[in-house]
Amino acid sequence: MSRGGQGYRLSPTDKPPRIGHLSGSSRRRNARSLRSNPIYLAIASLWPVMSLEIIYYPHPTLRYVSKPIKRVDAGLRKIADEMLDLMYEARGVGLAANQVDLPLRLFVANPTGEKGSGEEFVVVNPEVSRPKGSEVGEEGCLSLPGLTGDVIRPKSIRISAYDLKGNPIETTLEGFLARVFLHEIDHLDGTLFFDRMGEHAAQELEAGIDELETDFRSKQATGSIPPDDQLVARLAEWTNKYC
């Protein structure tokens, strides 16, 4: 959403590995220290190099219903870190795995949109319940750059999910943070914000949507982006690994 090593199985009965929680400045200091360690650099060099990018409408992964994650490992934690970095670079407040061409039920968020400020969230296998009230708010999307519209969403929701350590998340969210979570969960279900807009309001976005589609299809025609069937077929590699 735009502004305005050792693996384990993830299930409700799992006991997550005992890993100390690091956040904020402590995590950044430890990360800098770790990355300068020659042993870490040697191990990191063995991981496959993968550079995540935000994909744009009408990439088919944006309409893919993400699969629940059953396994978390160092590779997935690295992906989450990269997603946060991408989100900040794009000046967003949330980013779903679909938006970086991954078919996994995971998203990251920080309602401030500022690295080092506010609270970062990495949310795995979210489920929504107990929606209450409704309010209108303007939303945009990093996969639909430049387009915004008013969307009606609940004022408050109950979220059930996991963090990357397998710890359960059970909390009630309200206001803007609830909106951010719902926007990202929509992504995981293959739903885009304009799908929730009224017909007349959505028509106002048609020119921008058509422009994005023309650009995407022209790149497919020149071979710089594979055909849709190939893009969808390669998602199986990720679902086989983590789902």
What proportion of the chain, given as a percentage, has pLDDT over 90? Answer: 77
Residue 20: pLDDT band with limits 50, 70, 90: very low
Cα(216)–Cα(30) distance, integer angstroms: 41
Residue 200 falls within a domain, yes or no?
yes
Give tens-digit pLDDT for 197-227: 988 899 999 999 999 999 999 999 999 999 9
Supply the pLDDT for residue 124: 98
Residue 75 lies in a domain: yes
138-159 pLDDT per residue, tens: 999 999 999 999 999 999 999 9
Catalytic site residue 184? Answer: yes
Burial tier of 107 (Cβ tally within 10 Å: 0-12, 13-18, 19+) = buried
* pLDDT higher than threshold 70 for residue 35: no
- Asked if the structure places residue 31 within a domain, the reply is no
- Residue among 119, 127, 184, 199 flagged as catalytic: 184
CATH of the domain at 140: 3.90.45.10
Would you say residue 45 lies in a domain? no
- Structural domain count, the chain: 1
Position 30: which residue type? N
**Is 101 contained in some domain?**
yes
Residue 23, domain member (yes or no): no
Average pLDDT of the chain to the nearest whole number: 85
- pLDDT higher than 60, residue 68: yes
pTM above 0.75, yes or no: yes
Q: Is the Cβ–Cβ distance between 139 and 148 less than 8 Å? A: yes
- Dihedral over Cα of 232, 238, 241, 243: its sign: negative
- Does residue 177 sit within a domain? yes
Asked whether residue 230 is assigned to any structural domain, the reply reads: yes
Classify the phi-psi angles of 184: left when phi > 0, otherwise alpha if psi is within -120 to 50, otherwise beta: alpha
What does the pLDDT look like over 8-18, one tens digit per residue? Answer: 334 333 333 22
Q: Is 243 assigned to a binding site?
A: no
Of the candidate ranges 16-25, 67-76, 84-93, 111-120, the one whose mean pLDDT is the lowest: 16-25
Which tens digits make up the pLDDT trace of 107-130? Answer: 999 999 999 999 999 999 999 999
Top pLDDT among 33 and 238 is at 238
Q: Is 183 annotated as a binding residue?
A: yes
Range(s) of the domain holding residue 79: 53-242
